[in-house]
Amino acid sequence: MKARIFPLPPVDWGGGDLRDVVILEMTSPDGVTGLGSAYTGADQLEKALALYQQDPGVIHNADAELTIPMSAIDIALWDIRGKEQDLPVSELLGGRKRDRVLAYATVDLKALRATLDQGFKAVKLCIDAFGHRDDSKSDKEWDRCEADLLRMARRTAGKDVQLMLDVYGSDPNWSGDLEWALKTSKVLEEEGFLWFEEPLAPENTEEFARLTESTDIAISGAEDFILLSDFESLLDRRAVDIVQPDCTRVGGLTQMQFIRTAASRKNINLIPHGYNTAVGLAADLQFQSTAPDEKYCMVEVWPHDSITGLLKHNPFSLDDEGKITVPTGAGLGVELKDEFKK
């Protein structure tokens, strides 16, 4: 297969954590093109493509480092397959169960009002420095301060908006412990938040499990996990209520299916991590339209040029319910602008 790689500006995952991201266009011997995306650099994707050309079986038998660029190849192959069969990828993934998927944005508290004004009905808060305590206040004062921020968020959003909290426990400097997470969970429950994301460092599986068993709010995590075996260890312990793989990092849509199957066996939900490109979002929409559970059928939308500026037609506008209509064209249902490919 022929391939073209389009590097994009690095994505800031917060706190200066910059991640390389690329778009891939593959063309089959019959001239059918497919798009993929991955959180990787162009050099890494070139290496993955060379290995795939030598042995296609390597795509789902790679180590963690190589699995990430292989994600772009897998997504592009699904796009090609859909176009060859004149079907949306969702039909190839087991059949579309819904035509629209709820979108949520991830923003700081100060951007909440503006995000709601854009039409979002679900917002994940990533409040600056939340949980990062110092000696300027006592623990009780910090408890009160953080609780006030969460209550302010609920007052701003109103009762009909889904709110979630992400404290990014995979930050190497994260210090929040189980006691802190339990106290915060109680406030989140009182304020009707939907889930609490990465409240602990990802390697603390046992503490995650104890937290999940002790709270009524859904606990989520694992956006930085790559290999299926790592997800299975987390799922076997029932350490989370929601697992959050990123299709542009875990090996594409094929591996997303394997992870969802493993999660369903443990009655654990899956919501994709999607701080993503237009191609990654299109893949997430096709995938989530096949999800069995309406409550957790959501996609993460990053309102940025990598979402809105790459495509001939932007299909990601929100309707009155804050949902995105899943593209109905063959494959992923999206096309890059001609000028982007020059």
Give me the residue spans of the domains in the chain: 2-92, 100-332
With 90 as the cut, is the pLDDT of residue 17 above it? no
Single out the residue of 300, 313, 303 nearest to residue 340, CA to CA.
313
Whether the pTM exceeds 0.75: the reply is: yes
With 80 as the cut, is the pLDDT of residue 342 above it? no
Average pLDDT over residues 189-195: 98
Provide the pLDDT for residue 175. 87
Provide the pLDDT for residue 276. 84
With 80 as the cut, is the pLDDT of residue 47 above it? yes
Task: Return all residues near 144 (Cβ < 8 A) that are at least 6 apart.
Answer: none
Q: What is the dihedral of CA 316, 318, 319, 325, to 10 degrees?
A: 30
**Mean pLDDT across the chain:** 94
Q: Give the helix/strand (H/E) hosting 103.
A: strand 100-107
Between strands 269-270 and 242-243, the pairing is parallel
With 90 as the cut, is the pLDDT of residue 1 above it? no
- % of the chain with per-residue pLDDT over 90: 84
8 A C-beta contact, residue 163 and residue 194: yes
Average pLDDT over residues 55-66: 94
Average pLDDT over residues 270-287: 94
Average pLDDT over residues 20-49: 96
Q: Which two tokens stand for residue 312?
A: 């001939």
Number of H helices, E strands in the chain: 11, 12
Q: Give the helix/strand (H/E) hosting 19.
A: strand 18-27
- Residue matched to tokens 């969802």: 260
With 90 as the cut, is the pLDDT of residue 225 above it? yes
3 state SS of 303: coil
Please measure the distance between the N-terminal and C-terminal CA atoms of the chain and give it in whole angstroms.
20
Provide the pLDDT for residue 292. 85
8 A C-beta contact, residue 79 and residue 44: no
With 90 as the cut, is the pLDDT of residue 266 above it? yes
318-339 burial, b for 16+ CB within 10 Å, e for fewer?
beeebbbebbebbbbbbbbeee
Average pLDDT over residues 246-264: 97
Single out the residue of 162, 204, 165 nearest to residue 186, CA to CA.
165
- Phi, psi (5° rounding) for residue 233? -65, -40
Q: Which two tokens stand for residue 223?
A: 């956006």
Residue 206 neighbours by CB distance under 10 Å: 12
Hey, what CATH class is 100-332 in? Answer: alpha beta
Hey, what CATH class is 2-92 in? Answer: alpha beta
Q: At what angle do helices 228-236 and 253-265 cross, to 10 degrees?
A: 20
With 90 as the cut, is the pLDDT of residue 246 above it? yes
With 90 as the cut, is the pLDDT of residue 45 above it? yes
More confident residue, 37 or 19: 37
Range with the poorest average pLDDT among 85-94, 291-300, 301-310: 301-310
8 A C-beta contact, residue 243 and residue 218: no
